[in-house]
Homo-oligomer: A and B are copies of this chain.
Amino acid sequence: MTKNKLEITDTTTGEKIKEAARKVFTKKGYAATRTRDIAEEAGINLALLNYYFRSKEKLFDIVMRENMQQLLIGLRSVLYNETTTLLHKIKAIVSNYINLLRKHPDLPLFILSEIKANPDKFAMNIGARTLLLKSHFFKQVKETGKGKINPIQIIINIIGLTVFPFIASPLLKHVGDLNQKEFDALMKERKKMIPIWINGMLKVK
């Protein structure tokens, strides 16, 4: 069985390890993760981790690359669509990301922590820069704010308003006295509100 018996849920040993690694890395971060935790989570012998992925770091690189990939999938098609309004794009971006983050709430804190811990490692990605800066979306932000506002500020606000509550969720739940259900309801409401708020910013002055 070297190649696919159509692998019912593609549950190769390698795949099991990778998914276990994603879970543990994302929850605890690279430094706090023990390869033995990953092995246990995957239900495999520790040595198999090195057999399939050479090292903890190589495994991490693969998981992280896929995680970042996931955040960019589908973004290009929105950013570069020349047939939709700016407001429509903002609604799509915010809605898609909040849906994604409700499924993977600790993705942003994980990614931002690891970028900070090792900025050089992620410096390569010149593609992410042009993806945004050359987009139809960015042009629309520029001309809608026509000189009044730096478009980067608007970008920061869209991402910040969308992502921040998930980054700070333990804190917000505590000081706001919210359970998971109430927090979820807030995030659902934000899907509607953030585009309205951003729209307001674009009309300031």
Contact = CB atoms under 8 A, between A and B. Distances in A.
Interface of A: 28-32, 106, 109, 112-113, 115-117, 119, 122-123, 125, 128-129, 132-133, 149-150, 152-153, 155-157, 159-161, 163-165, 167-168, 170-172, 174-178, 186, 189-190, 193, 196-197, 200-201, 204
B171 A115 contact: yes
Copies held by the complex: 2
A123 B167 CA distance: 17
Given A123-B174, A197-B197, A159 B164 contact: yes
A29 B106 contact: no
Contacts of A201: 197, 200
B165 A161 contact: no
